């Protein structure tokens, strides 16, 4: 599942920014990718739709890198699985 | 203060073509853009006709990164504005202080309805984040500003079918007040969406056979889509930069019926025409041609004819009156823009657009509607009427230069 989520997140970023998915690394900062706040909520929307999770607004504030999104999705999926 | 406002650029997207050359050749030839409705197969619609913009590929006109945020109504607005600014010969760098006043009756319905479909029909739980920035009624105005670097007063005017004429009037007033020297204004709409078509169907004013303004066998309006935009400038600014002036916008008149939400009033329409002529400092005898609102509904065409009688009295018989909606359909908030473009070109080229599909005069429709064939005639003054649902009226007076 780890790889899948990483792929889902990178694909959502690649689609939104119209860039090659291979150009995105886990440690890449969202700022370097030129991710605006509208991009960020759109990327999160795509991931929410695919993973069937709900990302709280306050968690969006703390997203700095691709890894942050992947980790956040993992955490939400784990919470959901435990619930 | 600037007393005189002139027109230096025209842009259009319509069922008659993706630019003004195509639009005007169709109008002169009396060619209709009304065809069987496409894109709604098996949707259970009674509406079966439309003046739809065909062969419009957004990727030809926009960067792929911009397309996802552009509703169809914004796309039309941008293409028409670019054409008008190109014709005016205004460099992007000179538009920093310009105004953009964009009329729309509907806003980004395609975007709104896609989200509603997603939520209501597909039972999804979240809306796409672009829904508001792409679909809001001011999205087209914002995109025009962003993509054309227009950084002065930019806003949307919405008055249903009069939106474009009200927008052009606001732009002219901004110039006359000395707020700006240059403005782009007009209207845009893309109303071919399932929910909106169903809503129009419910009003029982849409024809299922054709649009025949002022004709005895008229059976209602046919919806259209597109955008019509014009560049307005103070005469001083246009002359100062050696621009080619197409016509003078001699005056604008606005009125409200303060009556019924759908039934038009001859008295209200007449007051808008009178206000426009007064603003222009012209008499009714000066007017050669009226580009009518002419929707093809029973109510509009009879009422508009009565309004012209009230204003022009016995001179009404020498007026030429035509409805180009018989060709480009009723493009709602864009209609006044397209009709303004047609009226400018009628003055420039001495060709009066016809009212096509005309068979015989309807009851109470006793004017010269320039039936079926364009007429070559040099004219000096023309007016363009827009009378919206809800009794919101706006009329322009254009004068040859």
CA distance B234 to B175: 6
Give the residue numbers of B annotated as catalytic, written as ranges.
Answer: 161, 293, 330
Neighbours of B364 (CB within 10 A): 14
> What's the residue count for chain A?
83
Tens-place pLDDT, residues B63-91: 999 999 999 999 999 999 999 999 999 99
Chain B residues with CB under 8 Å of A38 CB are 129-130, 133
The answer to whether residue B207 scores a pLDDT higher than 80 is: yes
Tokens 């999926």 locate to A77
What is the DSSP-derived secondary structure letter of residue B17? B
Calculate mean pLDDT across residues B144-152: 98
* Identical topology for domains B5-240 and B252-400: yes
Q: What string of DSSP letters covers B218-248?
A: ---B-BB-EEEEEEEEEHHHHHHTTPPP-EE
Interface with B, mutate which of A38, A47, A60 (most B CBs under 10 A): A38
CA distance A16 to A42: 7
Q: How far apart are CA B144 and CA B300, in angstroms?
A: 32
Express as a percent the part of chain B with pLDDT over 70: 100
Min Cα separation B129/chain A (Å): 6
pLDDT at A44: 96
Angle, CA of B111, B38 and B330, to the nearest 5°: 75
Q: Does A49 touch chain B (CB under 8 A)?
A: yes
The whole-angstrom distance between B64's CA and the closest CA on chain A is 8
Which residues does chain A have with pLDDT short of 50?
A: none
Q: Which of A18, A38, A45 shows the shortest C-beta gap to B126?
A: A45
Domain positions in chain B: 5-240, 252-400
SS (H, E, C) B188-219: EECCCCHHHHHHHHHHCCECCCCCCCCECCCC
Quick: pLDDT tens for B321-366. Answer: 999 999 999 999 999 999 999 999 999 999 999 999 999 999 999 9
- Contact assignment for B126 to A18 by CB distance below 8 Å: no
The minimum CA-CA distance between A39 and chain B, rounded to whole Å, is: 9
B391: left (phi over 0), alpha (psi -120 to 50) or beta: left
Contact flag B129-A49 (C-beta cutoff 8 Å): no
Question: What is the average pLDDT score of chain B?
Answer: 97
Min Cα separation A50/chain B (Å):
12
The predicted structure's pLDDT at residue A59: 87
Chain A's closest residue to B118, CA to CA, is A49
Q: Select from A35, A49, A51, A53 the residue whose CB has the most chain B CBs within 10 Å, as the one to mutate to test that interface.
A: A49
Report the distance separating Cα B159 and Cα B274, nearest Å. Answer: 20
What would the mean pLDDT of B298-318 be, rounded to a whole number? 97
Phi, psi of B293 (to 5 degrees): -65, -45
Closest chain B C-alpha to A57 CA, distance in angstroms? 13
Count chain A–chain B contacts defined by CB atoms under 8 A.
Answer: 15
Residue carrying structure tokens 């008499």: B283
pTM: 0.96
pLDDT at B3: 78
- Cα distances (angstroms) measured from residue B220 to each of A27, B56, B104, B294: 62, 27, 22, 10
CA–CA distance, A52 with B18 (Å, rounded to integer): 42
- Residue B334 Ramachandran class (φ > 0 left, ψ -120 to 50 alpha, else beta): alpha
Residue A38 in contact with partner chain B when CB distance is under 8 A: yes
- Under 8 Å CB-to-CB from B44, ≥6 apart: which residues? none
Which pLDDT tens digit goes with each residue over B110-147? 999 999 999 999 999 999 999 999 999 999 999 999 99
Cα–chain center distance at A29: 12
What's the topology of domain B5-240?
Peroxisomal Thiolase; Chain A, domain 1 (3.40.47)
pLDDT for A12 equals 97
Residue B243, pLDDT > 60, answer yes
Task: State the helix-helix crossing angle for B139-148 and B72-88, rounded to 10 degrees.
Answer: 40
Query: Does the beta-carbon distance from B126 to A49 stay under 8 Å?
Result: yes
CB-based contact B181:B95 (threshold 8 Å): no
Residue B236 near chain A (CB below 8 Å)? no
Say how many Å lie between the first and final Cα of chain B, rounded: 21
Selection from A65, A61, A75, A59 nearest residue A26 by Cα: A65
A42·B133 Cβ contact <8 A:
no
Supply the pLDDT for residue B359.
98
Domains and CATH numbers, chain A: 2-82 (1.10.1200.10)
Domain boundaries B252-400, corresponding CATH code: 3.40.47.10
A48 to chain B: which residues are within 8 Å by CB?
A: 126
Residue A3 is predicted with a pLDDT of 55
* CB-closest option in A18, A38, A48 to B133: A38
Say whether residue A36 is in contact with chain B using an 8 A CB cutoff. Answer: no
Q: B307 with B336: CB under 8 angstroms? A: no
**The predicted structure's pLDDT at residue B323:** 98
Which one of A48-52, B29-33, B41-45 scores highest in mean pLDDT?
A: B29-33
**Which residue of B66, B123, B127, B129 to mutate against A (max A Cβ within 10 Å)?**
B129
Residue among B64, B65, B128 whose CB faces A45 most closely: B128
CB contact under 8 A, B128 and A38: no
Per-residue pLDDT at B375 exceeds 90: yes
pLDDT over 90 (residue B259): yes
CA dihedral B83, B10, B385, B314 (to 10 degrees): -160
The whole-number average pLDDT for the span B270-281 is: 98
Per-residue pLDDT band at B2 (split at 50, 70, 90):
low
DSSP codes joined into one string, B50-96: EB---S--HHHHS-TTTGGG--HHHHHHHHHHHHHHHHHT--GGGGT
pLDDT tier, B373 (very low <50, low <70, confident <90, very high otherwise): very high
Contact yes or no for A42 and B129 at CB 8 A: yes
């Amino acid at each position: 599942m780890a790889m899948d989520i990483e792929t889902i997140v990178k694909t959502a970023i690649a689609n939104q920014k119209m860039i090659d998915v291979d150009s995105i690394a886990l440690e890449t900062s969202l700022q370097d990718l030129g991710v605006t706040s509208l991009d960020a909520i759109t990327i999160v929307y795509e991931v929410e739709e695919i993973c069937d999770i709900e990302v709280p607004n306050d968690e969006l504030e703390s997203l700095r890198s691709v890894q942050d999104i992947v980790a956040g999705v993992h955490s939400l999926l784990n919470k959901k699985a435990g619930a | 203060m600037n007393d005189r406002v002139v027109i230096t650029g025209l842009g259009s997207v319509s069922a008659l073509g993706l630019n003004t050359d195509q639009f005007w050749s169709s109008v002169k030839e009396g060619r209709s853009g009304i065809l069987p409705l496409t894109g709604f197969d098996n949707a259970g619609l009674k509406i079966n006709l439309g003046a739809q913009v065909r062969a419009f590929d957004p990727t030809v006109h926009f960067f792929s990164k911009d397309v996802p945020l552009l509703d169809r109504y914004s796309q039309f607005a941008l293409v028409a504005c670019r054409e008008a600014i190109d014709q005016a010969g205004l460099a992007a760098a000179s538009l920093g202080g310009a105004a953009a006043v964009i009329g729309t009756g509907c806003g980004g319905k395609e975007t709104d309805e896609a989200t509603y479909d997603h939520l209501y029909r597909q039972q999804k739980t979240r809306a796409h984040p672009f829904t508001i920035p792409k679909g809001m009624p001011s999205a087209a105005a914002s995109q025009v500003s962003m993509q054309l670097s227009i950084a002065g007063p930019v806003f949307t005017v919405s008055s249903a079918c009069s939106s474009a004429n009200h927008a052009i009037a606001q732009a002219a007033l901004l110039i006359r007040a000395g707020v700006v020297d240059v403005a782009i204004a007009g209207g845009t709409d893309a109303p071919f969406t399932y929910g909106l078509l169903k809503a129009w169907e419910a009003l029982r004013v849409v024809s299922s056979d054709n649009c025949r303004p002022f004709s005895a066998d008229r059976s209602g309006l046919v919806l259209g889509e597109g955008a019509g935009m014009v560049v307005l400038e103070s005469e001083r600014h246009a002359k100062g930069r050696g621009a080619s002036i197409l016509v003078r916008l001699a005056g604008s008149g606005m009125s409200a019926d303060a009556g019924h939400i759908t039934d038009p009033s001859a008295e209200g329409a007449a007051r808008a025409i009178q206000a426009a002529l007064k603003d222009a400092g012209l008499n009714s005898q000066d007017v050669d041609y009226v580009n009518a609102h002419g929707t093809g509904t029973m109510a509009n065409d009879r009422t508009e004819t009565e309004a012209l009688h009230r204003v022009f009295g016995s001179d009404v018989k020498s007026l030429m009156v035509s409805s180009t909606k018989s060709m480009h359909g009723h493009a709602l908030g864009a209609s006044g823009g397209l009709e303004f473009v047609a009226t400018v070109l009628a003055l420039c080229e001495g060709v009066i657009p016809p009212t096509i599909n005309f068979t015989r005069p309807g009851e109470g429709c006793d004017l010269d509607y320039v039936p079926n064939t364009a007429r070559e005639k040099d004219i000096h003054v023309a007016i363009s009427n827009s009378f919206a649902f809800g009794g919101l009226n706006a009329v322009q007076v254009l004068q040859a230069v």
